[in-house]
Amino acid sequence: MENVDVLVVGAGLGGLSASMFLALEGVQVLTVDRHPGTALHPRASGQTPRTMELYRFAGIEHEVLGVSKRASQGLKITVAASLGGPVFHRLVEDLGEVDLSAATAAPWGMAGQDVVEPILLARARAAGADVRFSTEMVSFEQDADGVTAVLRSRDSGAETTVRASYLVAADGGRGRIRETLGIGTTGIGAIAHSIGVVFDADLGDRLERDVTDLYYLQNPEFTGALTNSDTPGRYVCAVDLHPERGETAADFPEERLVHLIRLATDLPDLQPKIQWTGVWEMAARIAERFSAGRVFLVGDAAKVTPPTGGMGGNTAVGDGHDIAWKLAAVIRGDAGPGLLDSYDAERRPIAEMVVGTSLHNAKERMFPELDLTGAPEPVDQTALTLGFRYRSGAVLVEDAGDTDRLENPVEPSGRPGFRAPTVPTTTGSTWDFLGHRWVLFTTGGWRDAVDAVRAETGLDLDHREAGRDFDDPQGVFGTRFGLRDGGASLVRPDGIVAWRSAGGTADPAATLRDVLARVLSR
């Protein structure tokens, strides 16, 4: 029997992110995936600045940017009949039009899943993760102390039993782990089915090469989408499939796909070379719980969202990072098991806003007939990306009546639950200190308290005092963090403000000791 700290099932964006961040924290992690390797389809393209912040924590930000030169010019979204046909609506033309410098120092990324997953895989393995492809989990059982799983090699048929303290389910929207746990889903379910096609061709100037040029197609013969990829001359097309009419993948032989690609591109003589095809379901589902005992759902195992808005893959990365740092804290003994309760409390509301907003995007861009009666109203995607708020036992709010779940990220408040504000320094920004440990930002008066609490608890707690450990050339630190003289702001390893004392306290050591005990469930 093999023994590991964490078993991750699934090596997509969520699973590989969890594996990478766990390994970087020194956790012994085994990851298995039934497929022979990483994704060939560039689905889930694009990285929000929040995702790029997390990638910066892992040291792969520049690699991700490097595999997608399209990031330099941004994103275009067009609703049209075809690439050369009537344009019905143009949604976004230049991400540079939105100035987020007051919210984050991280850029947008435009890389596809097919080129990002190998980067995550390499970083995870370099950090010590054991990642095995062509390996499936046959069964699992959990008890009060851990999870016992049976794994099978799809090549040899050999079976292995693994004992893990925790299991991360990243096995996708059609995975079996959630159902085995008896966790149901909410949401409107299936919206549409499509045939996805990855093809190589010379489209001339039909699509711009230096941007992510995405078309939602409302053609008289089909509804679909077409976009470029990070591989020059390679494109991705999706056309609708109707199983309710009896259609299957067999009804889309290569000659029909070529015909549809020609209609989509307005190039009747095009000779596309098809590299990959597959059926996928566009749906909206959210698991009723994101955890059960020692098992935690991430990515599409936790929620399935329409791709309209590009938030599904980014949410999966956020899930993977969130559960990873919390599991690592518990496994190291820095936190009590109660910290893990914050995973569902924090990530499920994010999933609900992502799915709701993506549904409204789908109605606007692809399915005007979609009935969203009773669905939540959409939220601003910039606020959802950088101005979201966590509410859980790992955040100590100042005012129980303060129920804001979003804020304008370019006007940060520094309130607990929100991302820590970005304050420029002469060498970078305050975010340069985040991502690896708890950080206490202060305006003075806390140094002895931090030293005492570190000595007592052994916690890797960083202390950064304005004017002493970093400068504030623009003079905005106190305003953005909401601190006066003697104030303190405790920021978690994920960059979220856990607690704040705006004007200080009579006994800093006792206060800090109590705060850490509460947010870490010690």
- Confidence at 100, pLDDT banded by 50, 70, 90: confident
Distance CA 442, CA 223 (A): 55
- Full 3-state SS string of 445-504: CCHHHHHHHHHHHCCCEEEEEECCCECCCCCCHHHHHCCCCCCEEEECCCCEEEEEECCC
The reply to whether CATH 3.50.50.60 applies to domain 2-70+107-185+284-347 is yes
Across 338-349, average pLDDT: 98
Whole-model pTM? 0.93
Q: How many CA atoms lie within 13 A of 244 on its CB side?
A: 6
Q: Which CATH class is domain 387-519?
A: alpha beta
For residue 364, the model assigns a pLDDT of 86
CATH fold, domain 188-283, is: D-Amino Acid Oxidase; Chain A, domain 2 (3.30.9)
Q: Where are the domains of the chain?
A: 2-70+107-185+284-347, 188-283, 387-519
What is the DSSP secondary structure assignment for residue 412, as one 8-state letter? -
Inter-residue contact 203 to 267 (CB < 8 Å): yes
- Confidence at 269, pLDDT banded by 50, 70, 90: very high
What is the DSSP secondary structure assignment for residue 93, as one 8-state letter? S
- Full 3-state SS string of 157-173: CCEEEEEEEEEEECCCC
Phi, psi of 382 (to 5 degrees): -65, -40
Name the residue among 438, 336, 346 with its Cα closest to residue 392. Answer: 346
Distance CA 473, CA 476 (A): 8
- The tokens for 350 are 């994010």
- Measured N-to-C along each axis, helices 447-457 and 508-519 cross at an angle, to the nearest 10 degrees, of 50
Per-residue pLDDT tens for 42-62?
A: 778 889 999 999 999 999 999
For residue 101, the model assigns a pLDDT of 84
Per-residue pLDDT tens for 222-251?
A: 988 999 988 889 999 999 999 999 999 999
- The tokens for 104 are 């984050």
Provide the phi-psi class of 482: left if phi over 0, else alpha when psi is between -120 and 50, else beta. Answer: left
Per-residue pLDDT tens for 122-161?
A: 999 999 999 999 999 999 999 999 999 999 999 999 999 9
Per DSSP, helices labelled H in 216-340 are: 254-265, 312-332
Inter-residue contact 247 to 194 (CB < 8 Å): no
Residues designated catalytic: 216
Name the residue among 101, 91, 47 with its Cα closest to residue 70. Answer: 47
The answer to whether residue 430 scores a pLDDT higher than 70 is: yes
Across 66-77, average pLDDT: 72
